[in-house]
């Protein structure tokens, strides 16, 4: 082969992946193409089966295509179930006295002295009775991890009653005991936290045996008289054939559902039907203001139920001592007959409803918190009481009684303690004249005698002081302004 001869060869191609990459691309295209075709076929078949024929421009909402859920009667679940979603609110609720209104027995819940200062002797009153003047002794003691009160019942026989639950932790603490048939009673002693001593709980001194209904009498069964406001979601479960109780409840104390209503449907809506969450629970903050106040009034009230007791037996009370059947959001007066004649504990709603605050729409939550964020407070006011009052009453003039009490307190005069530790919620000044007419401060407390400076001042002098303060600010001749 000479140098001028050329071989007829195909042009040289450097080694590469062009053909290979083309082959892979073809495979991928065909692979995804198959899936696209299958997806289109699936959609067409689905439409064909369902019979759906969309119109041009029609907008379809997914929620609108679902049928409205059918919810049955709601039932109570307990506050721990609320914690799953509302853990911040749950934590703040636990920091309130509502959550501790009734507690189990334990060394951290019992605050009475069951070891050293653990006896109480009561002298029976002079009411007509064979036991008049008799000294009755009660002993409170602890055995292993259980707590007992040794007391006499209506049969006159002393027994050791085991404590099943405790009520209260702030000012007083009371104790419950469960009888063999399941009925619960409040034991006739209570612990005074401030004075650190045992006192008679209206059970022996004036109500001993035939003097009156004893603490263990059927008409004082706790489930009928008090239970609805000490626990949440109580079911009395009385069996008249066996005369026995199998009472249950969702929460000890005032739980979430006491103010928001039974939560089973709310939980179901949150799990399956998101758009129905708000419709399946009561938020008192969104209720009309009167209905909102009634949520508080179901327990901060005094009276009896509008319905008769369903469990009939000799000695049972005729009506429940709480608004049996009431649920938040309903009208309280349909379930409760309020009584305001006699001053009792937890009567704030009775007094508020007759006040100017009620007429003006100033309700419970205007002044009080519901979910306490920080330390436990007794009244849970949003700010200090006097600042709370002055937030609205900004035009107060320092005249008459206000002129001589610039160092005083709005609450001391306009919300004096009227019974025990309860402050009046009429927001009206209570004159010493009313105490004179009633026969003394013990029968009718007033706004002046509660002050430490005036606690021993004769009532007549207090009346004269007030009259003098009023005259000092009147134009002369002031006699025309006298009543």
User: For residue range 385-425, what is the model confidence (pLDDT) as tens digits?
Assistant: 788 888 888 877 777 777 667 666 888 888 888 876 688 89
Mean pLDDT of 250-264: 95
The pLDDT value given to residue 474: 57
The top-scoring range by mean pLDDT among 233-247, 331-345, 408-422 is 233-247
The pLDDT value given to residue 168: 87
Mean pLDDT of 173-177: 96
Mean pLDDT of 333-338: 92
**Confidence band of 274 (pLDDT split at 50, 70, 90):** confident
Instruction: Tokens for 146, please give them.
Output: 């259980």
Its pTM stands at: 0.78
Looking at per-residue pLDDT, the higher value among 299 and 64 belongs to 299
The order of strands in the sheet holding 172-178 is 102-104, 165-167, 172-178, 184-192, 197-200
How would DSSP label each residue in 320-354?
-SS-TT--TTS-GGGTEEE--SS--SS-HHHHHTT
Query: Is residue 49 pLDDT above 70, yes or no?
Result: no
The answer to whether the CB of 144 falls within 8 A of the CB of 105 is no
Mean pLDDT of 453-472: 82
Query: Is residue 46 pLDDT above 70, yes or no?
Result: no
- Say whether the peptide bond before residue 176 is cis (omega within 30 degrees of 0): no
The pLDDT value given to residue 6: 43
**How much of the chain, in percent, has pLDDT values that exceed 90?**
40
Query: Is residue 181 pLDDT above 70, yes or no?
Result: yes
The pLDDT value given to residue 377: 67
SS3 83: helix
Average pLDDT, the chain: 81
Query: Is residue 138 pLDDT above 50, yes or no?
Result: yes
Looking at per-residue pLDDT, the higher value among 66 and 217 belongs to 217
**Confidence band of 340 (pLDDT split at 50, 70, 90):** low
Sign of CA dihedral 88, 89, 93, 94: negative
pLDDT in tens, 431-444: 899 999 988 888 88
**Confidence band of 56 (pLDDT split at 50, 70, 90):** very low
User: 481, 482, 438, 480: which is closest to 459 by C-alpha?
Assistant: 438
Mean pLDDT of 235-240: 94
**Confidence band of 230 (pLDDT split at 50, 70, 90):** very high
**Confidence band of 63 (pLDDT split at 50, 70, 90):** very low
The pLDDT value given to residue 8: 47
Candidate from 38-47, 181-190, 258-267, 418-427 with smallest mean pLDDT: 38-47
In 115-157, the DSSP E strands lie at: 119-123, 135-143, 146-152
**Confidence band of 319 (pLDDT split at 50, 70, 90):** very high
The pLDDT value given to residue 373: 65
Query: Is residue 331 pLDDT above 80, yes or no?
Result: yes
Looking at per-residue pLDDT, the higher value among 37 and 381 belongs to 381
């Amino acid at each position: 082969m000479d140098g001028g001869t050329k071989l007829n060869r195909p042009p040289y191609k450097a080694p590469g992946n062009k053909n290979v990459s083309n082959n892979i691309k073809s495979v991928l295209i065909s692979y995804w193409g198959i899936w696209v075709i299958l997806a289109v076929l699936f959609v067409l078949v689905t439409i064909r089966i369902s019979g759906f024929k969309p119109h041009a421009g029609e907008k379809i909402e997914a929620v609108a295509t679902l049928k409205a859920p059918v919810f049955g009667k709601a039932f109570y679940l307990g506050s721990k179930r609320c914690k799953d979603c509302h853990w911040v609110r749950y934590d703040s609720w636990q920091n309130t006295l509502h959550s501790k209104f009734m507690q189990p027995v334990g060394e951290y819940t019992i605050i009475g002295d069951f070891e050293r200062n653990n006896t109480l002797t009561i002298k029976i009153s002079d009411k007509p009775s064979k036991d008049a003047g008799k000294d009755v002794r009660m002993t409170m003691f602890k055995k292993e991890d259980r707590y007992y009160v040794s007391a006499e019942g209506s049969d006159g026989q002393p027994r050791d009653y085991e404590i099943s639950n405790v009520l209260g932790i702030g000012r007083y603490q009371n104790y419950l005991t469960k009888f063999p048939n399941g009925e619960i009673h409040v034991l006739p002693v209570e612990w005074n936290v401030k004075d650190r001593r045992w006192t008679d709980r209206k059970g022996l001194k004036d109500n001993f045996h035939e003097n009156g209904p004893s603490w263990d009498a059927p008409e004082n069964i706790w489930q009928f008289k008090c239970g609805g406001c000490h626990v949440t979601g109580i079911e009395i479960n009385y069996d008249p054939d066996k005369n026995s109780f199998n009472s249950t409840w969702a929460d000890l104390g005032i739980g979430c559902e006491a103010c928001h209503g039974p939560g089973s449907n709310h939980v179901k809506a949150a799990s399956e039907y998101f758009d129905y969450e708000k419709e399946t629970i009561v938020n008192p903050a969104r209720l009309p203001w009167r209905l909102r106040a009634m949520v508080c009034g179901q327990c901060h009230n005094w009276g009896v139920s509008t319905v008769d007791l369903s469990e009939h037996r000799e000695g049972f009370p005729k009506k429940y001592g709480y608004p049996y059947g009431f649920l938040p959001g309903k009208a309280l007066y349909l379930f409760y007959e309020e009584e305001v004649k006699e001053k009792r504990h937890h009567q704030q709603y009775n007094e508020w409803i007759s006040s100017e605050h009620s007429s003006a729409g100033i309700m419970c939550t205007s002044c009080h918190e519901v979910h306490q964020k920080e330390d436990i407070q007794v009244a849970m006011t949003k700010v200090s009481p006097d600042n709370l009052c002055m937030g609205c009453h900004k035009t107060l003039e320092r005249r008459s009684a206000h002129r001589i009490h610039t160092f005083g307190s709005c609450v001391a005069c306009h919300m004096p303690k009227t019974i025990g530790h309860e402050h009046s919620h009429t927001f009206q000044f209570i004159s010493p004249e009313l105490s004179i007419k009633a026969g003394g401060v013990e029968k009718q407390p007033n706004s002046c005698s509660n002050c430490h400076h005036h606690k021993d001042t004769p009532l007549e002098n207090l009346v004269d002081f007030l009259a003098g303060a009023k005259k000092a600010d009147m134009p002369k001749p002031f006699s025309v302004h006298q009543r």
